[in-house]
Amino acid sequence: MATSDNKLADTDERIFIGKGEETAWLTLALANRHGLVTGATGTGKTVSLQVMAEGFARAGVPVFAADIKGDLSGISEVGEAKDFIVKRAQEMGLTFQPDQFSTVFWDVFGEQGHPVRATVTEMGPLLLSRMLDLNDVQEGVLNVAFRVADENGLTLIDMKDLRALLDAIAPDGSKKGADDGEDPLAPIRKAAQSYGNVSKATVGTIQRQLLVLENQGGAKFFGEPALTLKDFMRTDRDGRGMVNILVADKLMQSPRLYATFLLWMLSELFEELPEAGDLPKPKLVFFFDEAHLLFNDAPKALMDKIEQVVRLIRSKGVGVYFVTQNPIDVPDKVLAQLGNRVQHALRAFTPRDQKAVAAAAQTFRPNPKLDTARVIMELGKGEALVSFLEGGGTPSMVERILVRPPSARIGPITPEERKAIMDASPVKGKYDIAIDAESAYEIIQKRLAGTATPADGSSGDGGGILGHIGAIAATIFGTNVKRGRLSTGQVIARNVTRSVTDKVVGGVVADLGKSVGGSVGGSIGRALVRGALGGLLRR
């Protein structure tokens, strides 16, 4: 979309969002300071999201967005010069020019997009406890399970791995009085009990919660090949950013799974990306729709981690934009990090609604020309109050604008169009077929059958001190680590480069020193390299 004088076109430095008495621009160099898009249902939030996504893509910035209703999928097809679109463009002094954007569709269930998977180990105990809605005691037992898995070389890939591990750490009443040699899993049970009382009842409750998650389709999310986040950060042949759309209509039927999945993605980005400082434009922009689901009933410990990730991920070159109905859906500590604001209409039919409108108005920098609270209730569809960060990083005064019409199609695409896009996808075939590699379930079954090798991977003869030194060297240099698994040396190298994980590096080195002096296991340092939200660092 452009004008003859090109004054309202996107540039290499900013995105044109809309126009009122003043023109609203989103500065790319400040886009990683995060943002917020709010408004009641049907007031135009999705269109605003699409306009912003198109602008980022034009600037060569990859985009990830959750698509709750399917409307955002139209960004992949050429826009249509419908009467209301042409009229809106003319009102703003624009000439409508149809466009489309390279798009990759993703789907946790693998039905309307490429499958998205993570391993149980990568998810970590904190996020998994949130997903399963566990209490403090149950979360503690899950942490014990992960610790035991780390120390015994039991890789947790999918749900059956976790179930097998939980069965292994649960006390076995039928084995009372038996010698350890009669129970192949006795060392695992003993290790679990060394961290505190692990009761069979608590393990059973966690198993039942896993069943609930499986019934919601969550089991499809855990497995391999696991998602490689660099596949989100692509540009097309024209240098435009790829638009990654998470098909979330079915996923939204399990709100806790939806919120935890997106939070896991944020934590993975936070852990994997190097420090970047202030860039001319973000490396990736992440739109989190129905953001209130992330914060509902979240325990304080998790809220603190969320606030930390949002605050620090800016320096990794990632912009996070929350989309929800009202600013009060977002906790104050997180809200304070969101510098770029787009507010669509809110309706005040009850005293609570009126309080919400007043709170929304107070989040903007006042404009003497506007009664912000009154205008919020008067906004028409496609209108918004906006405040974007200016050159010094300070928010501009709130302005009332008409949001520009998107260049791509508004509304969903057809199944045939979706299939054509997926067939031409740059990741076609990479994730479409699940792989069931040997992991905790298979290892535990072998131990029960008496055919498993020791947990440290040795042949049983020890090999003496030279054998131990060789094992350490092989682990450090990665020669005995399966493809896709991280060696201790790689872990250390990865973490040394990260200023936010200096303490973790110290812990890894200290643990390595202890292991050299004492037990030389295959899990050296493994338990000490979990990320901010509990996932295991992989690269």
The label of the residue with tokens 């809106």 reads 88
* Omega within 30 of 0 (cis) for the link into 426: no
What is the spatial distance between Cα 389 and Cα 337, in angstroms, rounded to a whole number?
A: 12
The label of the residue with tokens 């009842």 reads 201
Element at 288 (helix H, strand E): strand 284-289
What is the spatial distance between Cα 159 and Cα 150, in angstroms, rounded to a whole number?
A: 16
What is the spatial distance between Cα 143 and Cα 151, in angstroms, rounded to a whole number?
A: 12
Sort strands 243-247 and 14-20 into parallel, antiparallel or unpaired.
unpaired
Q: What is the pLDDT of residue 536?
A: 63
φ/ψ of 288, rounded to 5, equals -110, 95
Cβ pair 138, 199 in contact under 8 A: no
Cβ pair 251, 261 in contact under 8 A: yes
Q: What is the pLDDT of residues 206-229, one digit of tens each?
A: 999 999 999 888 889 999 999 998
Could you tell me the CA-to-CA distances from 171 to 139, 143, 183, 198, 420 in Å, in that order? 18, 16, 12, 7, 53
What is the spatial distance between Cα 140 and Cα 259, in angstroms, rounded to a whole number?
A: 22
Residue type, 374: R
Positive or negative, the CA dihedral 9, 14, 19, 21 is negative
Cβ pair 529, 491 in contact under 8 A: yes
Q: Supply the DSSP string of 385-398, one letter for each residue.
A: EEE-B-TTSPBPPP
Q: What is the pLDDT of residue 481?
A: 42
How crowded is residue 372: how many other Cβ atoms within 10 Å of its Cβ? 21
Q: In what order do the strands lie in the sheet with 243-247?
A: 23-27, 14-20, 399-403, 383-387, 340-343, 35-38, 318-324, 284-289, 63-67, 243-247, 103-107, 114-115
Q: What is the DSSP letter of 168?
A: H
Cβ pair 37, 322 in contact under 8 A: yes
Q: What is the pLDDT of residue 349?
A: 84
Instruction: List the structure tokens of 481.
Output: 């680590």
Positive or negative, the CA dihedral 38, 42, 44, 46 is positive
Q: What is the pLDDT of residue 93?
A: 84
Instruction: List the structure tokens of 426.
Output: 């740059």
- pLDDT beneath 50, residues of the chain: 1-6, 175, 177-180, 455-528, 538-539
Positive or negative, the CA dihedral 396, 400, 405, 411 is positive
Cβ pair 246, 66 in contact under 8 A: yes
- Strand, coil or helix: 477: helix
Cβ pair 17, 383 in contact under 8 A: no
